[in-house]
Structure 1
Amino acid sequence: MNGSRRAFLATAGGVFLGGLAGCMGFPGGGGTDETTPTDAATTTDDVATSDTGGDLSDLELRYETLASGFTSPVDVAIPEAFDGDRRFVVDQPGRVWLHDETGLRTDPYLDLGDRVVDVGGYDERGLLGVAFHPAFADNGRLFLRYSAPSRSGTPSNFSHTFVLSELTVDPEATTVSGDSERTLLEIPQPQSNHNAGALAFGPDGYLYVAVGDGGGANDEGRGHVDDWYDALDGGNGQDVQSNLLGSVLRIDVDSEGGVTGDEDKPYGIPDDNPLVGRAGLDEQYAWGLRNPWRLSFDGDDLYVADVGQAQWEEVNVVEAGGNYGWNVREGAHCFRASTCPTETPDGEPLVDPVLEYPHAARGPSGVAIIGGYVYRGDEIPALSGAYVFADWQSQERLFAARPQASKPWDIAEIPITDLDGGGKNVLAFGRDPAGELYVCTSGNRGVTGTAGTLNRLRPL
């Protein structure tokens, strides 16, 4: 049901900024809680780094606004198949827009508005992520993550159904339909928030899927199972057997049948996933996460930003089988307790984040982390090798950090001196095949109208 862009953007309501604030602990938030380098060196944490970057402390950058008029641009994918010349912007109400050498196309590239839950005002659901198959130019396969009305198998008192699906389309088309959609995975979502939604293909060719803890406060309440940590009731983040919530999943979309081929699954599971052959769900790659808002690869390194509840925001460089602590810990700190364990009863460590920042402090601080990418471009040499990210409340600044031997890494604040029409509130980042960065923003905290923009990060 493809309407014109002008007609849609003139009538669509904004939804994401308020939703983001609520899910991530922003005050008054809707009634909820609170391209691989060839010359890389390695730190003691085996994180790829670069010796070519400059001092970040005096760096100032600007936005070059490429397109505007979005409701809530929560993701941008820039496939290598088109040498970075096509940028696909995910707008939360259910549409993907194409920006190319002609500008922003008049009609949506893909319209799934009739399959996504109705969103408006404060809402964290919607179309949340897209990933193009590494061989998209040949096979036309793309993958989507969205919130659907409750499907069969989702309890009647739950909010909605998490859907991961696949389309096969004409790779050269500038508009496509959803007629070929095939559902790969459904997860019952007990509450409306903490939906995560990022998708990314790793250098191993497998698809990585970020899944939030099911919503609500403290990882407890409706739809949250009991875990091993008795100090708090519930804990999807610490449970690996009952559901897939609070985790990063890793699946093989180029095969079917789970691990053995005997299971009725429309995807395969890599036999080196950490829980294969052990107690737990085979799809899980890492866990102990609350609301992993955006993930990205830099070579073999998987960066996952996890939104805190009320005190700490964090970024993890995720490894297979890593337990990142929620809801025992928030960042590297005990959650709602003066003391807490540093490992599970089985002796598996709770992994510290590589960087964190508080909600209230001088210097880097905020309320809701927005995960980004490591910069690998040529236009901003001083930024080379730094992980660039933001806080939803950034207000004309970004953050950057370079890998270092000890944790947490130092964080630099980078002013955005010229917004060029781009909004102040960052929602997502993208990186093109040349390593240059793009920023999706909104200029309206009220999440109304058409304040969303796609911007390219430029030197001042």
Structure 2
Amino acid sequence: MRKVKVRLRPIVSKINLPTVLKTAILPGDSMERLFIATQVGEIFYIGNGEIRTFLDIRPQIIKLGDSELGVSRGGYDERGLLGLAFHPEFYYNSLFYLHYSVAGTQGPGVLSEPFTPNPCNPNTLNLRWKNRETQYDHIDTVEEWMLQANGRPQKRRTLLNIRRPFFNHNGVNSLNFSPETGNLVLTTGDGGSGYDPFNLSQGDLEMAGKIIEIDVAKHTFCNNPPVVTRFDELPTPIQETLKVIAKGVRNIPGISFQRIDNQYIKYAGNVGQDLVESIFSFVHYKPIPVTQLVQASLMKSKPDLEGLINFGWRGWEGAFPTSFIRDCSTNPTLDKKTIAYYYEAIDSSLKRIEPLISYFHKDLRPDKFEGTSLTGVQAYMGNGMPDLTESVVFTDLAKHEESQPPVRGALAYTRISADCKLNDFSVIETDYNFGSKSAYYVSLGTNLDQTRLYLGVYGSMKVTDLNQGTIFEIVPDEGIGN
């Protein structure tokens, strides 16, 4: 695979940190508009060359950048407005959906210090999340909204309220509609901290660490769903709207669907821990109804998980058994990597799927880059950039070798693989001169038919550093096809 060169065309600048980039056609409109959701709670759209406010829920968003357990995060945060999805019939029914962290729900957190497993201490390998109603970080909500005839959006109902143990790993670009089933797809991270302390991602009844389908056509008439952490805590009418597509998720920056030969390939990135960032792909799967999982638990039997996708976390980090790094102070190139969950890796080795591609935090190959954190995965089906046609494009927050200011993010691509087997990737070079400012690549989006790509760039890692965002369209290097 060879390097591809593209141009970044600025669309709008001086906005807050963009978490979601996607397009929709407003009811009564004739033009596809680019919508931008920001982490602090704003949603804008681009119309007639100017930016307009679609919705502003900043007062409903938890205060971002606060300290946790008395230790300042310095403005870094993974909560906020994380998901925006328009109903496939949005033009006709005006429905859209939000996922965000709710104001006023800040809790004390769970663990008193950062977690690292110790294979020599079973107590660190078998932790349980206890006292969940009092020991948590915040509450996330998934809501259905409607754009009223007067142009003002209004909340219709709450679909889910989820209690989260830590501030991080809540997913981002976490809501998307499946063109295959027509259902709303919610991606949830493993709950946060590091190394998934409570192994929530593999727990069948845990809502954390999953890809979940929600049948929004079913009205549960439950206007105030309880705040829960597990599927069996939900009322039966809500359980009946949910199916689980995948487990073993650490943290996903969205899910992308690509139609090839009358079937849909699903792509989902899994943010890594210490070693590797991974993108998984699958075609065939069998979603498991939540009612079936709950019933199996009540009967004290093992549920039938045939067809359920398992990304392998926490036993596996991409294609590797999950490891933690012990520094060799005299020679950093000799850092030791110790398997954290040896028996879990064995147990899940045949139950998991292999990643489509992986890229690494340390990589000496001259044609690659050393990554930090996967931030977006999108299929590209356009012809404007023929070198990328039918490829899968992805972004990394910041190149590891440029971790000191000014930082630059990374853009890359891989070819599709009909058998979803391990593949290679190549770098996408850009022409844009960011000067002395840092450029973290924080989000990646596309339009309705996947013929355009949009990149969200931010000048800081701190959500409290405001108005440092720019949205670009990724266009051909020759300027053709704009």
Query: Does TM-score exceed 0.5, indicating one fold?
Result: yes
Deviation at 1:256, TM superposition (A): 3.1
Give 2:97's aligned residue.
143
8 Å CA contact retained: 2:62, 2:106 = no
Is residue 411 of structure 1 aligned with residue 425 of structure 2?
yes
Give 1:400's aligned residue.
413
Is residue 373 of structure 1 aligned with residue 365 of structure 2?
no
Give 1:283's aligned residue.
243
8 Å CA contact retained: 2:3, 2:429 = no
Deviation at 1:112, TM superposition (A): 1.1
Is residue 436 of structure 1 aligned with residue 452 of structure 2?
yes
State how far apart, in whole Å, the 1-side matches of 2:23 and 2:452 are: 11
State how far apart, in whole Å, the 2-side matches of 1:84 and 1:385 are: 25
My pick for the range that moved more, 388-397 or 149-158, is 149-158
For residue 357 of structure 1, the aligned residue among 340, 346, 359 is 359
State how far apart, in whole Å, the 2-side matches of 1:57 and 1:196 are: 31
State how far apart, in whole Å, the 2-side matches of 1:181 and 1:373 are: 30
Give 2:268's aligned residue.
304
For residue 99 of structure 1, the aligned residue among 46, 52, 57 is 46
8 Å CA contact retained: 1:76, 1:87 = yes
State how far apart, in whole Å, the 2-side matches of 1:340 and 1:330 are: 14
State how far apart, in whole Å, the 1-side matches of 2:137 and 2:106 are: 10
State how far apart, in whole Å, the 2-side matches of 1:83 and 1:307 are: 37
Is residue 331 of structure 1 aligned with residue 318 of structure 2?
yes
State how far apart, in whole Å, the 2-side matches of 1:445 and 1:452 are: 11
Give 2:158's aligned residue.
183
Give 1:427's aligned residue.
442
Deviation at 1:367, TM superposition (A): 1.2
Give 1:450's aligned residue.
467
Give 1:385's aligned residue.
390
For residue 252 of structure 1, the aligned residue among 215, 237, 240 is 215
8 Å CA contact retained: 1:343, 1:350 = no
Q: Name stretches of at least 5 consecutive residues in structure 2 with no aligned partner.
A: 66-74, 108-130, 222-230, 287-307, 324-338, 400-407, 478-482
State how far apart, in whole Å, the 2-side matches of 1:360 and 1:296 are: 27
One-letter amino acid of the structure 1 residue matched with residue 187 of structure 2: A
One-letter amino acid of the structure 1 residue matched with residue 207 of structure 2: L
SS in 2 for 1:137: helix
8 Å CA contact retained: 1:160, 1:191 = yes
Give 2:138's aligned residue.
160
8 Å CA contact retained: 1:209, 1:249 = yes
Count of aligned pairs between the two proteins: 371
Deviation at 1:378, TM superposition (A): 2.2
For residue 58 of structure 2, the aligned residue among 113, 120, 129 is 113
Larger Cα Rg: Structure 1 or Structure 2? Answer: 2
Give 1:38's aligned residue.
none
State how far apart, in whole Å, the 2-side matches of 1:334 and 1:400 are: 25
One-letter amino acid of the structure 1 residue matched with residue 47 of structure 2: D
State how far apart, in whole Å, the 1-side matches of 2:38 and 2:141 are: 16
Structure 1 pair 341–92 and aligned structure 2 pair: CA distance change class (3 A): closer
Deviation at 1:68, TM superposition (A): 1.1
SS in 1 for 2:91: helix
State how far apart, in whole Å, the 1-side matches of 2:245 and 2:3 are: 38
Deviation at 1:111, TM superposition (A): 1.2
Give 2:253's aligned residue.
293
My pick for the range that moved more, 247-256 or 403-412, is 403-412
Deviation at 1:180, TM superposition (A): 2.6
SS in 1 for 2:155: coil
8 Å CA contact retained: 1:83, 1:433 = no
Structure 1 pair 431–83 and aligned structure 2 pair: CA distance change class (3 A): farther
Deviation at 1:158, TM superposition (A): 0.7
Deviation at 1:162, TM superposition (A): 1.4
One-letter amino acid of the structure 2 residue matched with residue 289 of structure 1: V
State how far apart, in whole Å, the 2-side matches of 1:426 and 1:172 are: 36
Deviation at 1:116, TM superposition (A): 1.2
SS in 2 for 1:123: coil
SS in 2 for 1:418: coil
State how far apart, in whole Å, the 2-side matches of 1:301 and 1:133 are: 20
Deviation at 1:104, TM superposition (A): 0.8
My pick for the range that moved more, 152-161 or 293-302, is 152-161
State how far apart, in whole Å, the 2-side matches of 1:296 and 1:171 are: 31
State how far apart, in whole Å, the 1-side matches of 2:204 and 2:238 are: 21
For residue 20 of structure 2, the aligned residue among 63, 75, 99 is 75
SS in 1 for 2:254: strand
**Residues 164-197 of structure 1, C-alpha deviation per residue, up to 9 Å, x if partnerless?**
0010113783xx34x4341100111011001104
Q: Name stretches of at least 5 consecutive residues in structure 1 with no aligned partner.
A: 1-55, 221-233, 270-281
User: How large is the Cα RMSD of the aligned pairs?
Assistant: 2.8
State how far apart, in whole Å, the 2-side matches of 1:215 and 1:166 are: 25
Is residue 208 of structure 1 aligned with residue 224 of structure 2?
no
One-letter amino acid of the structure 1 residue matched with residue 175 of structure 2: L
8 Å CA contact retained: 2:409, 2:441 = no
State how far apart, in whole Å, the 1-side matches of 2:461 and 2:106 are: 32
- Structure number with greater CO (CA < 8 Å, separation at least 6) is 1
Structure 1 pair 424–194 and aligned structure 2 pair: CA distance change class (3 A): same
**Residues 42-78 of structure 1, C-alpha deviation per residue, up to 9 Å, x if partnerless?**
xxxxxxxxxxxxxx51421111111111110011121
One-letter amino acid of the structure 2 residue matched with residue 235 of structure 1: N
Deviation at 1:365, TM superposition (A): 2.5
Give 2:304's aligned residue.
none
Give 1:277's aligned residue.
none
State how far apart, in whole Å, the 2-side matches of 1:96 and 1:457 are: 21
One-letter amino acid of the structure 1 residue matched with residue 266 of structure 2: L
Give 2:148's aligned residue.
170
